[in-house]
Every structure is written in structure tokens, then in C-alpha cells.
Amino acid sequence: MTNDRIADTFDQIADLLEFQSANPFRVRAYRNGARVIRDLSEQLATIVGDDPSQLTSLDGIGKDLAEKITTLVSTGELSQLNELLDQVPATVLDIMRVPGLGPKKAAVLFKELGIQNLDQLREACLAGKVKELKGFAAKTEQTILNGIEIAAAANQRILWAEADRIAQGVLEHLRACPSIEQMELAGSYRRGRETVGDLDVLVVSQNVPEIMDRFSTLPDLESITGRGETKMSIRLHTGLQIDLRVVPAESFGAALQYFTGSKDHNVTLRGMARQQGLKINEYGVFQVDGEQETYLAGEREADVYATLGLPCFPPELREAREEFDWAASAGLPTLIELGDLRGDLHMHTTATDGKASLQEMVAAAQQRGLNYIAITDHSQRVTMARGLDPRRVRQQWQEIDQLNASLGDAFTVLKGIECDILEKGGMDLPDDVLAEADWVLASVHYGQNQPQSQINDRIVGALENPHVTAIAHPTGRLINRREAYEVDLELVMRTTKAHGKLLELNANPLRLDLNDVYCAAAKRHGIPIVISTDAHSVDGLDCLRYGVLQARRAGLTKQDVANTRTCRQLRQLIAGQG
């Protein structure tokens, strides 16, 4: 029983209790408990095994929650949750995932219209029944209708970062088998897609039963959905399916290529093979002569591609976009790597809504080998985050100046701000304040439902401001939670290029904004991309790797990313903005 699963259980109980209009203090206790558990570095199962009484020493975990944690760790289930699910259909939880719908509104839909699932909700919206309810309106109904697909997708695909956590746990669990000769993950996970629908594990072993028996003891396993001679499928409690395939060593490279995909990439590859009298499948590459097929390659993935005179494409590029054209002309780009990044230019401290102090964020960045960072706390418009007014931001910048004086030349803290672009247009802080900054991120947090023309005008206006350096999370999307706002990114990119500005690839796995397609477009425009974490804690700095993965999918090289430069080179780049 992992911490995440325990936290998910508490969140689910909180949702169901709120759906039933339970005591709000009781609901809040479960939500706070879930938050605390997700932030823990130590596994609760370890604490329970050593001394369950230590659970109550954790902030936000009282006697009641401690008892429930112990029960979950010991039995894998909680009678309270089962009782709540007997009272409320489990499908109602899907309704709560629709943007704009929480437990209270979901309860109204359930009680007034009998809506229990997303299909019924869609039908009710299309029939105009939802807008007739008290507290709802035509605009709300349309927003719900638009958000249904997001909720449906959230049920089918999970964030890459979450898939990675699960994938690494699967690999660690299987490595206990001494008979494993080779093992790799394939599929959309290996290609680094921002969401993952399932996991594919490929193994070479002479002892298939041993591997499958070990696979069947994976933590969080809900059910075994299939077990054959060489393939086994399981489903986790989260609903994620994992397929295990045991393949012969001579086919491992071919199987890895085939099951990594993408489908479109493989279709192109097979077409090229046919033109050369070859056949490619998960078993290998074969020379075809009438009815006779002769095995040529398959043990290594690189050999599969080399047989066709192709380079071994990085998995992130295998989407049948430009990779084959690159291979046929100038060659594949040397994709950016995590170690190429020298700085992180978007993060928050306790001055606004961050969890770590300025000094703690600096120390954490130094520990990660960075040479510089920008502190970019929120501006005053973001009142819920205690955004900085001119007095407070200048006070923070004075503190940064003092800190830099003590750091010497080895590390630099840039005086930054994440300044809101106001709903009416213009920046949230006066120009004389922004002029004192080293780094100004402009962002849209409010008015995201405005018409495209209005959003365009706001962002274009920010790009025309001489003190703005870059646009943060340019489309505002939250993967599986919120669609991007209406914005003409072609117009934004033309304006960005004209004024010598930069665009952010926000590395938070929930954002990854810009996405890979738009990052590739920015490269074509000659716009430097900034990969930054938007970290609100020390651990948040580790999100850089998600941004790098997204950048690789876009074909970005070290030269395409601004914060691969030294701090001095970055300052020169900023100074050239028009």
C-alpha cells in the first residue's frame, strides 16, 4: 500500500463526504491528510511496520486518520470507503472531474436529474436540462459540456510523471528475478508522451513462469486480466493496464522498436522496408524472396534501423513528423539533455505561495548543479498567493542583491517576477518597477475565458512591453484538467520573434506548456525556448527533466534553449530584446 494510494483513498472519501453534504471540518481533515501524505518522503507502510503510534506525530494526522492508515496498510481496504461507495455510485466520481464541477454541483445533478455518469451528463447538457437548474446557467452548461472530454481523458490516460513513478516501481519489482537477461519499457511512455494510457514491459528470459509469477505479486495489483505463454496483462487499482511480454533475445531489439511505436512511425518504416524487399515486425527484419523469409536483424534496435540505412531514432522523435526527412537530409538533431541546462528561470518562494525560502531554493538549485536561477514570485494581482506589490518586490530584490554579494561568481540569483497580464490589458506592476528586474515573466492567470481577440491583445501587449522577457505557460492549459485558453499562437510567435522575446516551456508535468508541437513551431520561428520548473518547493526543481523530455519530442537542441547558456550569455540575450 503506497503513500499515493492512501492519499487517493482519503481524497476519494473527502469527495464522497462532500457530495453527501457532510460536516466540512470532517471533509477538510481528509483532504489535509491526503496532502500531508503526498508530501512525505517516507512510506507510511514502513512507519506502520515499525511503530504505528508514530503516525500521529505527522502534521495533519490525528488518531482517527492514523487508525485508518494502519487499516489500509494492513488490509488494503477501508470499510468506510466501501460503505460510501454503496451509497453513491462510483461513476459519480467521474462527474466531479469535469472542470467547474465539484462534489456539491455533482450532488445537485445527481439529485435533480439523476445523473450518474459522463454519458448521462452529456445528454442532459445537449438537451438543455442543466442550465435550468438553480446555480447553473447556459454558460455553465457549455463549460461542462466542453469539460466532459477532459474528464473522460483523465480516466483513460495519466500524466507521464505519474506513469514514470509506476514504471520505475515495476522495474524495481521485476529486477528481483535473477533470470531476467534484458528488460525495457516501451510504448508511449518510452516516447515521452505527456500522457500515458498503459505500460508495456519487454523481457528476455529463459524462465517465463518465474517472471510471470513475480509480475503477479506487483504491489497495487487489482486483477490479472490475461496470462499466456509469453504475454501477461494486469490492471492496477488505479485502472492502469500493464502488459508484460517475454521475447527471445534475437527479437528483443525488433520487439522494442515495434512496441515503442508510434503507429504512424512504424507504418512509414514498414513501407520503406517493402520498397527494399524487406519485412519488419516484432520478431525481426527479414529478407523476402517469394515465400521464403530470411532473418537479417532484430537482436538490437539499432540493427533494425541500420538494415534500412536509417539511424536509430531517439524514441521521443518517433511520431512520423519530421524524423524521416531529417534522416534523409541533414541528419537527426542532437537533442537537448538535462545536463545541458545551466539555470532555472521560474520558481516561487514563501514570499508568495512557495513552500521554501529564497535561501532554501538557492541551496537546492546549487545541489542540483545549476549555475543560476530567477526568483519569480507572483505579482499583486494574484491575491490568493499573496502576490507582491511594488514595495514588497523591491524588498525581495534587495535581499537578492545582498545574497548575490555573498555567493560570489559561482552562482547568481536573478531578480525576477511572474507579472500578471491584467484582464483589461497591461502589466500588473508599473514599468518603473519592472525596469529594475533582471527577468520578467508575463503570464495570464485571470480572464482565461475571454474571447481570443482579447487574449491575443493582452499577450501581444505584454510582448510589446520593453521590460517583459518571456511569456510563461503561454496557453494556460492543465493536462487532463483544463483546456488551453483561446489564443492565436501563430500571432504570438510572430510578435515574440519581432520583439526578440522568449517563450517558456513550463516543465511542471501538469502543464508542459508549450507542448511539443508548439515548441517545434517556436524553433521554426527562431524563438529561444526557456525550460523552467515553476517550482513551488525544493522538490519542484526536479521537474526540469519533464521539460527536457518534452523539448526532445519537439526536436529541440541545446542551441534552441535559452537557459543552456551561461548567465552572462543569457543577460546578453535579454539585453538584445527590442
Amino acid occupying residue 170: V
Q: Is 170 helix (H, G, I), strand (E, B) or coil?
A: helix
Residues 154-185 have pLDDT tens digits of 567 899 999 999 999 999 999 999 999 999 99
Residue identified by cell 504475454 is 231
User: Domains, the chain, ranges and CATH?
Assistant: 3-156 (1.10.150.110), 158-246 (3.30.460.10), 252-328 (3.30.210.10), 338-575 (3.20.20.140)
User: What pLDDT was estimated at residue 572?
Assistant: 94
Residue identified by cell 519489482 is 173
Beta bridge partners of 180: 205
For the chain (length 578 residues), average pLDDT per consecutive 10? 83 87 88 84 84 88 92 88 83 78 84 88 90 84 81 77 95 95 98 95 97 94 90 89 96 97 94 95 94 94 97 97 94 97 98 96 97 97 94 97 92 98 97 97 95 96 97 94 89 96 97 96 96 96 98 98 97 82
Kindly report the pTM of this predicted structure. Answer: 0.81
Beta bridge partners of 286: 279, 295
d(CA 562, CA 578): 17
Range 512-516 contact pairs with CB under 8 angstroms and sequence separation of 24 or more? 512/194, 512/479, 512/546, 512/547, 512/550, 513/473, 513/474, 513/475, 513/476, 513/477, 513/484, 514/474, 514/475, 515/194, 515/475, 515/477, 515/550, 516/194, 516/550, 516/551, 516/553, 516/554
Q: Are 356 and 367 in contact (CB under 8 A)?
A: no
Helices (H), 44-159: 44-50, 63-75, 79-87, 92-96, 103-113, 118-126, 138-156
d(CA 163, CA 574): 37
Show Cβ contacts of residue 120 under 8 Å, excluding neighbours closer than 6 positions.
Answer: 113, 114
Integer-rounded Cα Rg, in Å, for the chain is: 26
Q: Are 144 and 121 in contact (CB under 8 A)?
A: yes
Q: What are phi and psi of 138, to 5 degrees?
A: -60, -40
| Greatest CA separation for the chain | 81
Q: Are 414 and 403 in contact (CB under 8 A)?
A: no
